[in-house]
Amino acid sequence: MSDAHDTPGCCDALAIDPAIRRDALARLRSIRGHVEGIVRMLERDDVYCVDALKQIKAVQGGLAKTSDTILRGHLKHHVVTAHERGDDDAIVAELMDVLKYR
Amino acid sequence: MSDAHDTPGCCDALAIDPAIRRDALARLRSIRGHVEGIVRMLERDDVYCVDALKQIKAVQGGLAKTSDTILRGHLKHHVVTAHERGDDDAIVAELMDVLKYR
Amino acid sequence: MSDAHDTPGCCDALAIDPAIRRDALARLRSIRGHVEGIVRMLERDDVYCVDALKQIKAVQGGLAKTSDTILRGHLKHHVVTAHERGDDDAIVAELMDVLKYR
Amino acid sequence: MSDAHDTPGCCDALAIDPAIRRDALARLRSIRGHVEGIVRMLERDDVYCVDALKQIKAVQGGLAKTSDTILRGHLKHHVVTAHERGDDDAIVAELMDVLKYR
């Protein structure tokens, strides 16, 4: 623990919240199954374009919701305390890399 | 089945283009591996939120490009000929369901 | 110029549908007022970041719906007939430039 | 006014950063001009759908970049200090309302 505190951006201090991790994991496993379903769909030569597009859109929605869950936890557990820890510049820079338009 | 081939808007006539299907399939298989990687990442209790967010964003980008590939093929092979087939209202309605904002 | 009016694929043939144009125009005028409101909001030095972000998000929603309206009309009036006119390659290429992910 | 400065979460304490406000204001004024240009474009009955769609897409890009600028400032000046002020729950909830998928 004392060693960990000497490591910049140490893993323990900023690890994902356990409840959020379990929720995100369940969502990602479901998404994995959904993607597997689209792979099987595309293995058939009579698949219709719009059916594939609909399924991809559904997966994108699932990923966006998973992302929201993790982001909310990150804000709550790590970002609002960044100034106290003193890593606020790094926290903001890396978060904007993920959130920015392009 | 032989009748179906003569029916405007029939399943065979509107199946995805083979080259596009192979391209989309290769992309989706890669995405499936990427999602599997995120699942394994989230199975570790020291995963960092922003690392998970970055991976999810990468998958979203991969899905968007796959979607573009299929959409381009659908426009080229099915949408531009819809008026000739006579199924234009249905083609536009189902495509807008996929493309519209919400 | 007069000849051009008789040529399939000419400017008139592919002009926006009048009803859709009127609808899009009304939406854009409303959006113009909304943007003007955000400009005035940002002219005050006590504006709160999240209030500005909310207003920008609302304008983005309005633009997306206007875009959907025009897109639906474009598909219905111009894209589904492209193969008959013979400009299908150009129609698909320019539409994908607008629709593609990046 | 001096009292207001002592109130946690008060308007002054959380007002937008002046430099960011000026940047966002300049961007919004440019966007206002762009929207005005689309209004004039749609007032002509020979406007082509795809030209309007392109212009709307450009405005959406401009808004997204303005939003990023404001968001970055909000994170840097208000969110990373939320736990110290004690308004972290409110800060996270209102920010997620703006950032979430739907």
Name chain D contacts of A68, Cβ cutoff 8 Å.
Answer: 96, 99-101
**pLDDT greater than 90 at residue C76:** yes
Name chain D contacts of C64, Cβ cutoff 8 Å.
Answer: 60
**pLDDT greater than 80 at residue A12:** no
Give the whole-angstrom CA distance, residue D41 versus residue D77. Answer: 40
pLDDT digits (tens, 9 = 90+) for B14-68: 899 999 999 999 999 999 999 999 999 999 999 999 999 999 999 999 999 999 9
Residue C49: CB atoms within 10 A of its CB come to 26
Coil/strand/helix, residue D81: coil
Name chain A contacts of D76, Cβ cutoff 8 Å.
Answer: 88-89, 92
Give the whole-angstrom CA distance, residue A84 versus residue B81. Answer: 62
Work out the minimum CA distance from A88 to partner chain D, whole angstroms.
Answer: 6
Residues B62/B34, Cβ–Cβ less than 8 Å: yes
Work out the minimum CA distance from B43 to partner chain C, whole angstroms.
Answer: 31
Backbone φ and ψ of C14, nearest 5°? -110, 15
Mutate to test the interface with C, among D25, D27, D28 (most CBs of C within 10 A): D28
Mean pLDDT value across chain C:
90
The answer for residues whose C-beta is within 8 angstroms of residue B59's C-beta and 6 or more apart is: A63, B31, B34, B35, B38
What ipTM does this complex have? 0.89
Nearest residue on chain D to A60, judged by CA atoms?
Answer: D101
Task: List all chains that touch chain B, counting a touch as 3 or more CB pairs closer than 8 Å.
Answer: A, C
Alpha carbon D57 to chain centroid distance? 17
Nearest Cβ partner of B45 from A21, A66, A97? A21
CA distances from A17 to A61, B61, D99 (A): 22, 26, 20
- Looking at residue A13, its pLDDT comes to 66
Nearest residue on chain B to C100, judged by CA atoms?
Answer: B68
Nearest Cβ partner of D79 from A68, A80, A101? A80
Domains and CATH numbers, chain B: 2-99 (1.20.58.1000)
Q: pLDDT band at residue B8, thresholds of 50, 70 and 90?
A: very low
C92 to B101: CB separation less than 8 angstroms, yes or no: no
Coil/strand/helix, residue D99: helix
pLDDT digits (tens, 9 = 90+) for D19-58: 999 999 999 999 999 999 999 999 999 999 999 999 999 9
Burial of D1 (0-12, 13-18, 19+ CB in 10 A): exposed
Taking each helix axis as running N to C, give the angle between helix B18-42 and helix B49-74, from 0 to 180 degrees, rounded to the nearest 10. 170
A74 to B53: CB separation less than 8 angstroms, yes or no: yes
Name chain C contacts of D97, Cβ cutoff 8 Å.
Answer: 54
- Lowest mean pLDDT segment, chosen from A5-9, C34-38, C62-66, D65-69: A5-9
Identity at D96, one-letter amino acid code = M
pLDDT digits (tens, 9 = 90+) for D2-23: 333 334 444 456 899 999 999 9
Give the whole-angstrom CA distance, residue A39 versus residue D27. Answer: 43
**pLDDT greater than 70 at residue C22:** yes
Nearest Cβ partner of C21 from D18, D47, D78? D47
B98 to A29: CB separation less than 8 angstroms, yes or no: no
Q: pLDDT band at residue B13, thresholds of 50, 70 and 90?
A: low
**pLDDT greater than 70 at residue B2:** no
Average pLDDT estimate for D80-85: 97
Token digits for D10?
């008060």
Percent of chain B residues topping a pLDDT of 70: 87
CA distances from C83 to B68, B69, B85, C50, C72 (A): 20, 20, 11, 48, 18
Name chain C contacts of B83, Cβ cutoff 8 Å.
Answer: 80-81, 83-84
B53 to A38: CB separation less than 8 angstroms, yes or no: no
Residue A5: CB atoms within 10 A of its CB come to 9
